[in-house]
Amino acid sequence: MTRPARAAQRRDVVAEFRSRLDELLAGVDDPSGVRCLMLVADTGAGKSRLLHEVTSGSSVPIGWATASELSWRQPYSVIADALGCAVPEPLDEDADQFFLNRLDDLAASGRYLIVVDDAHNADAASLNLLQAITDAARDLPLTLLVAARPLPQREYLTRLTRRPDVDVVAVPPMDAMDLDVLVRERHDAWPTTRLRDALVVAHGNPLHAGAILDELDRTGQLIRDGDRVDLAAEAQSPPAAGLADSIAARLDALDPSSHDVLVTLGIWGGPVDLGHIAALSAVPATALLGPAQRLLDAGVAEFDAEGRLRVVHDSIADVVVERTPQPLRAIVHRAIAEQPDTDPVSRAFHLRAAGAAPSETVAADHAAAQALTNAPAVHADLLSETGVGAGAPGLETQVLALERVLALARSGQLERADESARATLAVADDLDVIARLYRTRLFVLTARGENAEAIATIESLTGVDLPERSRRVLTDLHAYLTLLSGAAPIPVEPFAHASTDLTLTGLVAEALRSCLVGSSFTAVEFAAEASRRFMSDDSAGADSSEGASADLWPPFIEMFHGGPRAAADVMADTSARQAERGTTWQSTYRQLIHASILTMRGQLSDAAVTFDTAMEKVSVGDEAVPSLAYGARVFVDLVRGDLAAAERRVQDWYDGRVGHGVLVEQFGLPQIQRMQMLVLEARRRHRAAAEMAAEVWDRTIAQQAYGWAATIAPACARVAIRAVEPALVARIGDDLAALTQPLSPALAPTIRLARGMVTAEPAEMVRIGVEVAEAARDLDDVFLEIAGWEESAVSAAIAGDRTGAIDHARRALQRAEDVGADGVTTRILSRMRSAGVRVTTAGKRRPTSGWDSLTPTEAQVTELIAMGFSGPDIAARLFMSPRTVQTHVSHVLGKLGLRTRVELAAAASSRQAAPIR
**DSSP per residue, 201-224:** GGTT-HHHHHHHHHHHHHTT-EEE
Can you give the pLDDT at residue 387?
55
| Cα 896 to Cα 658, 852, 901, distances in angstroms | 33, 10, 11
* Cross-strand partners of 115: 64, 145
Same domain, 160 and 41: yes
Q: Could you tell me if residue 147 is inside a domain?
A: yes
pLDDT above 70: residue 218: yes
Same domain, 182 and 140: no
- Measured CA to CA, the distance from residue 859 to residue 914 in angstroms comes to 8
Same domain, 15 and 78: yes
Q: Could you tell me if residue 648 is inside a domain?
A: no
Can you give the pLDDT at residue 384?
86
Which CATH number belongs to the domain containing residue 896 in this structure?
1.10.10.10
Pairing of strands 142-148, 112-117: parallel
Residues 172-209 have pLDDT tens digits of 999 999 999 999 999 999 999 999 999 999 999 999 99
Q: How would you class 362 by CB atoms within 10 Å of its CB: exposed for 0-12, middle for 13-18, buried for 19 or more? A: middle
Q: Output phi, psi for 303, to 5 deg.
A: -95, 140
Q: Select the highest-mean-pLDDT range: 141-145, 241-245, 864-868.
A: 141-145
Question: Which of 10-19, 396-405, 534-543, 643-652 is predicted least confidently?
Answer: 534-543
The interaxial angle of helices 901-909 and 856-866, nearest 10 deg, is 90
pLDDT above 60: residue 581: no
Contacts of 469 (CB under 8 A, 6+ apart): none
- Stretch 469-498: mean pLDDT, rounded? 91
Same domain, 38 and 126: yes
Can you give the pLDDT at residue 1?
35
Sheet holding 112-117, edge to edge: 62-66, 112-117, 142-148, 36-40, 166-170
* 342 within 8 A of 291, measured Cβ to Cβ: no
Q: Could you tell me if residue 130 is inside a domain?
A: yes
Same domain, 235 and 155: no
Q: What is the mean pLDDT of the chain?
A: 90
* 522 within 8 A of 514, measured Cβ to Cβ: yes
The interaxial angle of helices 782-798 and 802-818, nearest 10 deg, is 160
Question: Which of 181-185, 583-587, 848-852 is predicted least confidently?
Answer: 583-587
Same domain, 18 and 113: yes
- Measured CA to CA, the distance from residue 819 to residue 893 in angstroms comes to 21
pLDDT above 90: residue 31: no
- Measured CA to CA, the distance from residue 373 to residue 363 in angstroms comes to 16
Q: Could you tell me if residue 465 is inside a domain?
A: no
pLDDT above 80: residue 535: no
pLDDT above 80: residue 578: no
User: Is pLDDT larger for residue 33 or for residue 105?
Assistant: 105
Percentage of residues in the chain having pLDDT higher than 90: 69
Domain extent at residue 51: 10-170
pLDDT above 70: residue 579: no
Contacts of 713 (CB under 8 A, 6+ apart): 732, 736, 750, 751, 753, 754
Give the residue among 840, 844, 850 at the shortest CA–CA distance from 895: 850
Can you give the pLDDT at residue 533?
83
Q: Could you tell me if residue 599 is inside a domain?
A: no
pLDDT above 90: residue 707: yes
Give the residue among 441, 435, 443, 356 at the shortest CA–CA distance from 399: 435
Q: Output phi, psi for 367, to 5 deg.
A: -65, -40
Which ranges in 411-467 belong to alpha helices (H)?
A: 414-425, 431-447, 451-460
Pairing of strands 62-66, 36-40: unpaired
Residues 798-817 have pLDDT tens digits of 999 999 999 999 999 999 99
The interaxial angle of helices 564-577 and 554-561, nearest 10 deg, is 170
Can you give the pLDDT at residue 392?
57
Domains identified in the chain, total number? 3
In the 8-state DSSP scheme, what is residue 303? E
Can you give the pLDDT at residue 236?
66
Same domain, 22 and 133: yes
pLDDT above 70: residue 781: yes
* 750 within 8 A of 710, measured Cβ to Cβ: yes
pLDDT above 90: residue 68: yes
Same domain, 22 and 162: yes
Residue 606: band (very low, low, confident or very high) from pLDDT cuts 50, 70, 90: confident
pLDDT above 70: residue 3: no
Can you spell out the DSSP letters for 763-821?
Answer: HHHHHHHHHHHHHHHHHT-HHHHHHHHHHHHHHHHHTT-HHHHHHHHHHHHHHHHHTT-
Give the residue among 272, 276, 187, 257 at the shortest CA–CA distance from 227: 187
Give the residue among 664, 725, 669, 671 at the shortest CA–CA distance from 694: 725
Which CATH number belongs to the domain containing residue 63 in this structure?
3.40.50.300
Same domain, 93 and 239: no
* 622 within 8 A of 588, measured Cβ to Cβ: no
Same domain, 80 and 181: no
Give the domain-ending residue among 155, 170, 185. Answer: 170
Same domain, 187 and 49: no
* Cross-strand partners of 170: 40
Q: Could you tell me if residue 396 is inside a domain?
A: no
- Measured CA to CA, the distance from residue 378 to residue 348 in angstroms comes to 13
pTM of the model: 0.85
Pairing of strands 142-148, 166-170: unpaired
Q: Could you tell me if residue 545 is inside a domain?
A: no
- Stretch 578-594: mean pLDDT, rounded? 68
Can you give the pLDDT at residue 484?
94
Q: Could you tell me if residue 734 is inside a domain?
A: no
Same domain, 54 and 143: yes
* Cross-strand partners of 114: 63, 144
- Stretch 686-701: mean pLDDT, rounded? 98
Give the domain-ending residue among 250, 267, 286. Answer: 250
- Stretch 602-618: mean pLDDT, rounded? 87
Please give the span between the terminal C-alpha atoms of the chain, in angstroms, as a whole number. Answer: 72
Exposure string over 595-633, b if 16+ CB within 10 A, otherwise e: bbbbbbbbbbbbbbbbbbbbbbbbbbbbbbbbbbbbbbb
Give the domain-ending residue among 170, 199, 225. Answer: 170
